[in-house]
Amino acid sequence: MDCRDLNVLALAFMGDAVYEQFIRDRVVRGGEHNLSRADEMHRAAVRYVCAPAQAKAVKQMIADGFLSEEEEALVKRARNHRTATKPKNAGAVEYKWATALEALIGFLYLDGRGERLRQVMERTVQEI
């Protein structure tokens, strides 16, 4: 399977799961939160997985030239993709940028680019 041929929504679907797991792992392993309180762990994770934060992070990565040409093109393609989904807790523009970041993460994961995937997710956390 060539990941470049996949629909950006399929990439975002996968990327959402990969990024969520990455953040949950950081929360649990970080030792900064009461691991017997689900609400505390959830609040810690939401800070990183909400659309406004993800949108801010991916826009900053583009501004800094952190993404390759191929990665930036994918982000822009995903951002511009029409969707019927209405965001609950974010503006439509922020939601599209967040979906674009998730599509990039999904692409890197499915394409087996583990080291670059880690770099992008670490940079996302750093920007947030």
pLDDT digits (tens, 9 = 90+) for 23-73: 999 988 876 666 677 788 888 888 899 899 999 999 999 999 999 999 999
Amino acid at 44: A
DSSP one-letter code for 31: -
pLDDT digits (tens, 9 = 90+) for 63-113: 999 999 999 999 999 988 776 666 566 677 888 999 999 999 999 999 999
Q: Are 74 and 103 in contact (CB under 8 A)?
A: yes
105, containing H or E segment: helix 92-110
What's the CA gap between 67 and 104, in Å, rounded? 10
Per-domain boundaries in the chain:
3-127
Active site residues: 16
In this prediction the pTM is 0.89
In terms of CATH architecture, what is 3-127? Orthogonal Bundle (1.10)
